[in-house]
Chains A and B, each alone.
Chain A
Amino acid sequence: DAGITQSPRHKVTETGTPVTLRCHQTENHRYMYWYRQDPGHGLRLIHYSYGVKDTDKGEVSDGYSVSRSKTEDFLLTLESATSSQTSVYFCAISVLASAQGEAFFGQGTRLTVV
């Protein structure tokens, strides 16, 4: 699993509240990603990072922001949670040197917005 830890693993929150999900890696990989997985849509990229303080949007970035102040941590924030953001969120890294860009995923965070 390339040392990826997501927290929390489960969360229930109310509409309109901010929520932050954390992804932590132990191996100093440069590329990190946040995806969401929904029935009928598969996995879709929300945001990604290619270094400390270097981030960019994915295909479903509206309503989300990210921060990466340290190599090992990539935070995803839902600025004001909505029911449409109920989903399973996955963090991933790409291992470049030895693994030629192979991606590894965390175990996921199940978020329910009520």
Chain B
Amino acid sequence: KQEVTQIPAALSVPEGENLVLNCSFTDSAIYNLQWFRQDPGKGLTSLLLIQSSQREQTSGRLNASLDKSSGRSTLYIAASQPGDSATYLCAPGGDDYKLSFGAGTTVTVRA
């Protein structure tokens, strides 16, 4: 069974600071890995998808890296803004594209 750990559980930073969110997983036999954002009381929004053969993926201020062999992924958010405040979820995908989720990192960006 895939176990996913996200560290830290919560993070509070001043606006403009760069964010580093860590994810580790126990089974390296993954198909892909996704990062999601979830606002309170809302659904999940896909941020980035990294295929198992890729090392990183970028979208605007977001960059995600993947080290499949060591079971780690990191999400970097550059120049954080108050609108980045949310919970960020890491989800490695296995067979049949089933996702396993970590508990998330709750980010607060202070204006």
Give A contacts to B, CB under 8 Å. Answer: 1, 31, 33, 35, 40-45, 48, 50, 56, 58-59, 90, 92, 94, 96, 99-108
Contact = CB atoms under 8 A, between A and B. Distances in A.
Nearest to A6: B43
Contacts of B7: none
Nearest to B44: A105
Given A100-B49, A100-B51, A106-B43, 9 more contacts: A40-B103, A41-B103, A42-B101, A43-B99, A45-B98, A50-B96, A94-B97, A99-B49, A101-B32
A102 to B, nearest CB: 5
Contacts of B26: none
Interface in B2-52: 4, 31-32, 34, 36, 42-46, 49, 51
Nearest first, the 10 A-B pairs at minimum CB distance are A94-B97, A105-B44, A43-B101, A107-B43, A42-B101, A101-B97, A42-B103, A102-B49, A105-B43, A108-B43
Interface residues of B, number: 25
Given A40-B103, A90-B43, A100-B51, A31 B96 contact: yes
Most B CB within 10 A of own CB, among A42, A45, A59, A108: A42
A86 to B, nearest CB: 15
